[in-house]
């Protein structure tokens, strides 16, 4: 087997011994553009062995040197952005402008990792009692695995792994097998930045590779981003094998619209937040929840022409608003959800099914779709629709709107549009959702805040980036020290419970 996209292990391209490979498509044309090697359990064992050896030396590297390399990585990454955007467009299908936006957000995570010395400097308490000093230190875990999704081929791997590297761990990245090339390029960028070989590795594959990472005794922690069903599996299986796990699932992100909101502004934000990147974002707005029939009718009146005007095309079409879905199966799934919404009684206001583009007839395209009068018992509402089909769920009042959000099993993101500060304050106090926007449609925090949902959108206690990432990727040791004076005499054993007197 001679795969086009190989593993990146110990600073080299490696085919591996798995003997399996998978197709990598250009989703705009439906054509196979490469073959990607799939790792076996034996391959994962090999990469874990390489990472363990490299990680031991890296953990002992001075903070100053590690910080220098992370900063070098930032500069090399910025220099490579155009090439990375091209790779992302070819394998994911998102437009070049969208890919560049993804890469810019990734820079935030790299820059925040440069604050690692402050985040891991520990604590010290002098003379807690009996001339004993207490202090704590944070140390790397060893080898950690990062399992990333297809929808952000560079940003999410960087958000997962950069802090892990900065605090002294070695990393095994398992990117989505749908978009493998950007991950390998990240390995080469780390190499240019001066990172020792074996500290950052890439192993491709499917469930076999994932299971090998989850069960390998040399992997100390696992971070995951993907669907809720798989996130739950990764969390349970990883924990069962004694690993620290943070696993992020999907979202059904509501946009509550109060009658006092600027509806033209709302409509523009809904289009951008709901349909950007063909809605293949876990933080995309899934449904608008206008409060009151008059608000709903006025909003839908504004949305319909905007959805109809959306331009769909390949990644390098500068006029395109968004591109194709990632696979033909994804296209079929989204169109099935649209079919079911109509069967369940919803009103299809804009229909994007059956879209064919001249010259791209075999691409995985679905046009912008808007479904009105969606109800909570519909599969279109209950499940995450990972494609450009968005819904309108009408609420009679604010209480019903908030209850809709809280009753849904997913709690990734939510937004409210209003001019009423009291209503907004009540909203963010009462909604059971991890990331909340007030007049902000996609409330993804900056790289120095924690990212994560609630309910079945997140399993485990870690956060993807922000201050908590440094905690997740380190272990804490607390040390008690007493240095007796030379004149102290032993006075026999003390059998009572130690106190700080």
Q: pLDDT digit string (tens) for 280-296? A: 999 999 999 999 999 99
DSSP-assigned beta bridge partners for residue 201: 172
Give 64 or 498, the one with higher predicted confidence. Answer: 64
State the SS3 of 417-434.
Answer: ECCCHHHHHHHHHHCCCC
pLDDT band at 444 (very low <50, low <70, confident <90, very high): confident
Q: Return the minimum-mean-pLDDT range out of 141-145, 355-359, 373-377.
A: 355-359
Q: pLDDT digit string (tens) for 231-246? A: 999 999 999 999 999 9
Q: Residues 269-279, buried b or exposed e (16+ Cβ, 10 A)?
A: bbbebbbbbbb
Strand stretches in 230-357, DSSP E:
244-248, 253-257, 285-290, 347-350
Three-state DSSP state, 94: coil
pLDDT band at 405 (very low <50, low <70, confident <90, very high): very high
Q: pLDDT digit string (tens) for 337-346? A: 999 999 999 9
For domain 7-249+457-479, give the fold: Aldehyde Dehydrogenase; Chain A, domain 1 (3.40.605)
pLDDT, position 443: 87
Sheet with 170-174: strands ordered across: 12-14, 7-9, 200-202, 170-174, 143-147, 221-225, 244-248, 458-459
Q: What's the mean pLDDT when you consider all of the chain?
A: 95
Kindly tell me if the per-residue pLDDT of 492 is higher than 80. Answer: no
Percent of the chain whose pLDDT exceeds 90: 90
Class of domain 253-438: alpha beta
pLDDT band at 2 (very low <50, low <70, confident <90, very high): low
Give 178 or 465, the one with higher predicted confidence. Answer: 178
Kindly tell me if the per-residue pLDDT of 389 is higher than 80. Answer: yes
pLDDT, position 501: 64
Q: How confident is the model over 253-276, as a mean pLDDT?
A: 97
For Cα atoms 341, 413, 390, give the angle at the middle one, nearest 5 degrees. Answer: 25
For Cα atoms 289, 291, 296, give the angle at the middle one, nearest 5 degrees. Answer: 75
- What are the domain boundaries of the chain? 7-249+457-479, 253-438
Q: Which burial class, exposed, middle or buried, applies to 285 when counting CB atoms under 10 A from its CB (0-12, 13-18, 19+)? A: buried
pLDDT, position 500: 65
Contact 110/448 with Cβ under 8 angstroms?
Answer: no
- Reading the block at residue 11, the tokens are 């600073």
Kindly tell me if the per-residue pLDDT of 490 is higher than 70. Answer: no
Give 501 or 184, the one with higher predicted confidence. Answer: 184
Residues involved in catalysis: 282
Q: Which helix (H) or strand (E) holds 222?
A: strand 221-225
Q: How confident is the model over 82-103, as a mean pLDDT?
A: 96
Name 47's Cβ contacts closer than 8 Å, sequence gap at least 6: 7, 9, 39, 172, 201, 203
Q: What distances in angstroms separate CA 327 from CA 31, 341, 461, 468, one per listed residue?
A: 11, 22, 32, 34
pLDDT band at 87 (very low <50, low <70, confident <90, very high): very high
Q: How confident is the model over 366-377, as a mean pLDDT?
A: 97
Q: pLDDT digit string (tens) for 151-161? A: 999 999 999 99
pTM: 0.94
Cα 387 to chain centroid distance, Å, stands at 17
């Amino acid at each position: 087997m001679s795969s086009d996209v190989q593993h990146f292990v110990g600073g080299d391209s490696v085919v591996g011994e798995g003997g399996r490979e998978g197709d990598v498509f250009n989703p705009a044309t439906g054509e196979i553009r490469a073959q990607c090697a799939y790792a076996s359990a034996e391959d994962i064992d090999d990469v874990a062995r390489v990472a363990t050896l490299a990680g031991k030396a890296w953990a002992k590297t001075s903070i100053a040197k590690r910080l220098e390399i992370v900063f070098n990585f930032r500069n090399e990454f910025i220099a490579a952005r155009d090439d990375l955007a091209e790779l992302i467009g070819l394998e994911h299908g998102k437009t070049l402008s969208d890919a560049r936006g993804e890469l810019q957000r990734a820079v935030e995570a790299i820059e925040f990792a440069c604050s690692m010395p402050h985040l891991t400097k520990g604590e010290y308490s002098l003379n807690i009692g009996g001339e004993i000093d207490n202090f704590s230190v944070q140390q790397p875990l060893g080898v950690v695995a990062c399992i990333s999704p297809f929808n952000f081929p560079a940003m999410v791997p960087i958000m997962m792994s950069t802090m892990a590297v900065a605090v002294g761990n070695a990393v095994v990245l398992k990117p989505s097998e749908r978009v493998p090339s950007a991950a390998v390029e990240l390995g080469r960028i780390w190499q240019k930045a001066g990172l020792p070989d074996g500290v950052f590795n890439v192993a491709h594959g499917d469930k076999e590779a994932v299971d090998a990472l989850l069960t390998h005794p040399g992997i100390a922690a696992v971070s995951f981003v993907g669907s809720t069903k798989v996130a739950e599996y990764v969390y349970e299986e990883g924990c069962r094998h004694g690993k620290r796990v943070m696993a992020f699932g999907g979202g059904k992100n509501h946009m509550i619209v109060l009658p006092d909101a600027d509806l033209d502004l709302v409509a523009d934000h809904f289009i951008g937040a709901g349909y950007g990147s063909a809605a293949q974002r876990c933080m995309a707005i899934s449904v608008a929840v206008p409060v009151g029939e008059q608000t709903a009718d006025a909003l839908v009146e504004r949305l319909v022409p905007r959805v109809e005007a959306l331009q769909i095309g390949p990644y390098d079409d500068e006029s395109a608003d968004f591109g194709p879905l990632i696979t033909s199966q994804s296209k079929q799934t989204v169109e099935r959800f649209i079919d079911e919404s109509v069967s369940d009684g919803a009103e299809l206001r804009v229909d994007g099914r059956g879209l064919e583009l001249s010259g791209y007839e075999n691409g995985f395209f679905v046009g912008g779709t808007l479904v009105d009068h969606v109800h909570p018992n519909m599969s279109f509402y209950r499940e995450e629709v990972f494609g450009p089909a968005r819904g309108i769920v009408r609420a009679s009042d604010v209480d019903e709107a908030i209850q809709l959000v809280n009753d849904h099993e997913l709690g990734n993101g939510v937004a409210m549009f209003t001019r009423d500060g009291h209503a907004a304050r009540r909203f963010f106090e009462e909604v059971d959702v991890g990331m909340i926007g007030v007049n902000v449609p996609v409330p993804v925090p900056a790289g120095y805040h924690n990212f994560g949902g609630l309910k079945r959108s997140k399993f485990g206690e870690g956060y993807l980036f922000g201050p908590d990432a440094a905690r997740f990727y380190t272990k804490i040791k607390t040390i008690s020290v007493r240095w007796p004076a030379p004149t102290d005499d032993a006075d026999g054993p003390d059998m009572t419970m130690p106190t700080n007197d």
